[in-house]
Structure 1
Amino acid sequence: MTDYVDGYCERVAPGLWGEPLNSLSNLAFLVAAVLVWRLAAGDRAGRLLAGLIGLVFVASTAFHLLATRWAAVADSVAILVFVLVYAGLFPRVFFGWRLWWLGPPAFLALTLVTALLGGGLYLSAVIGLFAFAALLAFRRDASWTHFAVAGAVFALSLSLRTLDRDVCDYVPVGTHFLWHLLNGLVLYLVSRAAVRP
C-alpha cells in the first residue's frame, strides 16, 4: 500500500512537492467546505456535507503530496462516501421520502452498469446530477438549476481529467488540477442546494 503511484502529467518523480498544482488546487475543496459550513448554520445535513467535503480535501491533498497507493485509496473512498451520502440525502431533503436509504444502493447499481458499459466510474455521477435536475424541474423546484449547472461543470471536469495523460507532451502540468478546481464548485453547488435554512 506504500507503493509509489505516478498517474498524472505533473508528477515526474517521487517527492512531497512532485505535484504542486495538483496539490494546491485541492484548496478548492477546503474553500467549498468552509462556505457550506457557514451557510449551513443549524442545518445538520449541510454541516455533514461540509465535513465530507473537508474529508475530500484532506484525502486528495494527501494523495497528491505523497503519491502512494494507500493515499489513492483514501482519495477514492472520500469521494465515494460523499456521493453515497448525498444519494441518500437527496430523496429525503427534496422529496421527504422515508426510503432515503435506497439512494446509495441505487447509485452503486447505476455505477456498476455504466462501468460495465465502458463509461468508467464517474459517468454515473454525471447522469445522476442531470437526473436530479430533471426531477426537480418537473416539480418546479428552483433548485434544479444548481444540479443542471453542477452536471455541466462536472461533465467538463471529467473530460479534463480524462485528457490529463493525453496532453502531457503539450501541457506538461496536465489538466488534473482543473478537475479539482471544478469539482470544488460542483460539491459546493450540490451542497448549497441541500441546505435548508
Structure 2
Amino acid sequence: MTDYVDGYCERVGPGLWGEPLNSLSNLAFLVAAVLVWRLAEGDRTGRLLAGLIGLVFAASTAFHLLATRWAAVADSVAVLGFVLVYAVVFAREYWSRRWAWVAAPAFLALTLVTALLGGGLYLGTFISLGAFAATLAFMRDASWTHFAVAGAIFALSLSLRGLDRDVCDYVPVGTHFLWHLLDGVVLYLVSRTVVRPNRP
C-alpha cells in the first residue's frame, strides 16, 4: 500500500511537492466545505455534507502530496463516501423518505455497470446528475437548474481529467488540477440544494 503512484502528467518523480498544482488546487474542496458549512446554519445534513467535502479535500491532498497507493485508496473512498451519502440525501429530500435507502445501492449498481461497459468510475455520477435535473424539471422544482449546471460543469471537468496524460507534451502541468477546481464548484452546487435554510 506504500507503493509509489505516478498517474498524472505533472508528477515527474517522487517527492512531497511533485504535483504542486494538483495539490494546491484541492483547496477548491476546502472552500466548498467552508461555504456549505456556513450555509447550513446548524442543519445537520448540511454539516454532514460539508464534513464529507472536507474529507475529500484531506484525502485528495494527501494523495497528490504523497503519491502512494494507500492515499489513492483514501481519495477514492472519500469521494465515494460523499456520493453515496448525497444520493440518499437527495432521494430523501426530493423523492420519498420511504425509498431513500435504495438510492445508495442503485448508484453503486449504476457505477458498476458503466465501469464494466468502459465508461469509467465517474460516468455514473454524470448520468445521476442528469437524472436529478430531469426529474426535478418534470416536478417543476426550481432546483433542477442547479443540477443542470452542475452536470455541465462535471462533463467539462471529466473531459479535462481524461485529457491529463494526453497533453503532457504540450502542457507539462497537465489538466488534472482543473478537475479539482471544477469539482469543487460541483460539490458546492449540489450540496447547497439540500441544505435546509436554502430549500424553497
Q: What is the deviation of 1:43?
A: 1.2
Query: Hey, what does 2:11 align to over in structure 1?
Result: 11
Structure 2 counterpart of 1:187, which letter?
A: L
Deviations 1:114-168 (A, max 9, x none): 1111111100000000100011111111110110000000010000000000000
**2:135 matched to 1:110?**
no
Within 1, Cα distance between the matches of 2:99 and 2:181? Answer: 34
Deviations 1:84-123 (A, max 9, x none): 0011111101224222110000000101111111111100
Moved more, 38-47 or 173-182: 38-47
Within 2, Cα distance between the matches of 1:87 and 1:55? Answer: 17
Alignment of 1:171-190 (within 5 A): 171-190=171-190
* Structure 1 gap ranges (5+): none
Within 2, Cα distance between the matches of 1:163 and 1:33? Answer: 27
SS in 1 for 2:33: helix
Structure 2 counterpart of 1:91, which letter?
A: A
Alignment of 1:104-143 (within 5 A): 104-143=104-143
Query: Hey, what does 2:78 align to over in structure 1?
Result: 78
Within 2, Cα distance between the matches of 1:96 and 1:47? Answer: 21
Q: What is the deviation of 1:28?
A: 0.1
Aligned length: 197
Query: Hey, what does 1:36 align to over in structure 2?
Result: 36
Within 2, Cα distance between the matches of 1:95 and 1:88? Answer: 10
Structure 2 counterpart of 1:39, which letter?
A: L
Structure 1 counterpart of 2:49, which letter?
A: L
Query: Hey, what does 1:160 align to over in structure 2?
Result: 160
Q: What is the deviation of 1:47?
A: 0.6
Alignment of 1:59-70 (within 5 A): 59-70=59-70
SS in 2 for 1:194: coil
- TM-score under structure 2 normalisation? 0.97
- TM-score under structure 1 normalisation? 0.99
* Structure 2 gap ranges (5+): none
Identity %: 84
